[in-house]
Amino acid sequence: MKDFKGKIAFITGGASGAGLGQAKVFAKAGMKVAIADVRRDALHSAVSEIVDYAGCKVGDVLPLCFDLTDRIAYAAAADTVEKVFGGPPHLLIQTAGVNSFGPVEASTYDDYDWVVGVCFGHVVNGLVTFIPRILRTYGGRDGVAKEEFHIVTTSSLGALEAGPDTGPYSAAKAAVNNLMYSFAETMPFYGGHASVLCPWNINSNIGNAELYRPEKLRNTGYNVNENTIAMLRTVHAIGIDPLKLAAILKEGIENDRVLIMPFETYEEGLAMLRSELQKIENYTLPEKERLALSTSELSDPTRISEFYEVKAGVEPFGRARADLDYIAPSRKPDGAAK
């Protein structure tokens, strides 16, 4: 997609963080922007921020408050976009996500249902809801689109590596990547394109995600409290600026990149990919050979909680609940990391 002016964008998680940054950048590029989020107050303030940043009209920003895991609500939101803006989105960006840190072996059904439900399930909902509408309206049967269109999902570098402290999240993001690669192979049949954005850490509100976890899914195996949530806020505060990330995404869309990685140079991103592929290759080795290799900081199971515990001197996150009798002491709040 090269020309954004006058076209329609639909962005999930658009009330804050990466989604809000994307809404600002594409609104400034001349798009009409629908932003979906479950937080009504955040949506209200986001509209003002987008209008101020992009210099667009209030009517060019459509806030939609609904639960992205609710398929009926998603379909209703799609109907609203078509009614208000005159058609389905030319640019579909699914960015909403949640996470909670804790040992993968402590994860409960609720942990999986919540994290995977939002991070992967909402992506499925958006694709199944919008793809037929997008292809009927903009797709060309001969590989030449009637109008330019592009679909994107914001994933994570966590999709490329093991997640000993982010098991459900990393698994969901790995699924997102593979699904978007599949769409990248098929969208050209209709003249469109698909991409997946893989950032590492974003200056966003995902650290507050536990505050919005549904009551019916609150049985977690992780050590979660006000202190660990506060710790996560400090972690994400040092992440990439959402506007910078959105600008990188825009460049990736303009150049039809399938995998968009927000590194300063192409070589840096390629080095990261090769490092992750090497880890997978190492899994084929016998244990003694594998353990003899130097462990990178990114694959150390205690890296996340130890690193920020030392930096901030507060209660570590990424640990299991203290009452789980099957969890190793080093994986609990008071355990010494080993």
Which amino acid, 277? L
- DSSP per-residue string spanning 231-258: HHHHHHHTSB-HHHHHHHHHHHHHTT-S
- Asked if residues 171 and 163 have their Cβ atoms less than 8 Å apart, the reply is yes
Which residues have C-beta within 8 Å of that of residue 74, sequence separation ≥ 6? 66, 68, 125, 126, 129
Token pair for 286? 């016998």
3-state helix, strand, coil in the chain (%, to 5): 55, 10, 35
SS3 of residue 7 by DSSP: coil
CA 213, 33, 203, 233 torsion: positive or negative? negative
Which amino acid, 295? T
Which amino acid, 171? A
- Asked if residues 34 and 60 have their Cβ atoms less than 8 Å apart, the reply is no
Which amino acid, 65? C
Separation between Cα atoms, residue 165 and residue 195, nearest integer Å: 27
CA nearest neighbour of 222 among 96, 335, 331: 331
**169 carries an active-site annotation:** yes
Separation between Cα atoms, residue 173 and residue 158, nearest integer Å: 7
Q: Which of 169, 190, 222, 308 is catalytic?
A: 169
Separation between Cα atoms, residue 36 and residue 15, nearest integer Å: 7
Which residues have C-beta within 8 Å of that of residue 178, sequence separation ≥ 6? none
The catalytic site residues sit at 169
